[in-house]
């Protein structure tokens, strides 16, 4: 199934413009700091980090790559949930890799920027699929926290969000909050930075 990336992004942007709290950052009063020196990445390298859900696997999947979106949609019932954040498509100053790993036994997709956690996951049966993108390990340059939550069960699932509301709703529905996976830009950054609005090929 061919997905129109631009139409998906515009649909999501329209929701944000109407005042939805779906993708609000952790503090609605926070404003982006001016870029300072070489510590900030080049915002022209930002790409939309899309969220998809495969009900048959109870799995949330995240990607900046259009071919991944197209591939995931071959699974019956797959849902496009929107753009969670903007992350770097290449390794810019101060960023670290955001790894994507999969555990076939638990149908879990784990994303981590922590090298120790990555090594532990690989030793416990996860396979490293690709580098999902690059994020900040600390809160600099106007970035916001990317929260990680984990649903334990026969089919384990992880979700990632910049929204405090979404985080709290997930906890209420049975997810365990595991902390901050890293720091990213939220959708409002598009207006400030004129960031990329298309997925990568």
Least confident among 47-61, 161-175, 186-200 = 186-200
- The DSSP letter of residue 177 is E
Taking the C-alpha atoms of residue 19 and residue 192, their distance in angstroms, rounded to an integer, is 17
What is the residue extent of each domain of the chain?
A: 5-19+42-193
- DSSP calls for 110-124: EEE--HHHHHHHHHT
For the whole model, what pTM was predicted?
A: 0.76
pLDDT digits (tens, 9 = 90+) for 64-120: 987 777 777 777 888 999 999 999 999 999 999 999 999 887 678 999 999 999 999
pLDDT digits (tens, 9 = 90+) for 14-62: 333 333 332 233 333 333 445 445 489 999 999 999 999 988 888 999 9
Taking the C-alpha atoms of residue 98 and residue 91, their distance in angstroms, rounded to an integer, is 10
């Amino acid at each position: 199934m061919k997905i129109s990336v631009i139409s998906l992004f515009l649909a999501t942007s329209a929701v944000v413009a109407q005042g939805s709290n779906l993708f609000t950052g952790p503090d609605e009063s926070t404003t982006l700091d001016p870029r300072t020196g070489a510590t900030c990445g080049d915002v022209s390298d930002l790409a939309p980090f899309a969220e998809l859900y495969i009900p048959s696997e109870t799995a949330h999947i995240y990607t900046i790559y259009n071919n991944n979106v197209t591939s995931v949609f071959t699974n019956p019932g797959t849902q496009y949930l929107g753009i969670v954040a903007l992350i770097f498509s290449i390794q810019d100053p101060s960023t670290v890799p955001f790894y994507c790993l999969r555990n076939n036994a638990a149908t879990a997709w784990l994303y981590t920027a922590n090298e120790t956690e990555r090594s532990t996951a690989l030793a416990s049966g996860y396979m490293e699929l690709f580098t999902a993108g690059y994020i900040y390990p600390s809160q600099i340059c106007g970035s916001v926290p990317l929260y990680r939550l984990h649903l334990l069960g026969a089919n384990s699932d992880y979700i990632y969000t910049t929204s405090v509301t979404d985080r709290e709703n997930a906890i209420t529905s049975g997810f365990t909050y595991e902390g901050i996976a890293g720091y990213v830009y939220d959708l409002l950054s598009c207006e400030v930075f004129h960031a990329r609005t298309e997925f990568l090929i």
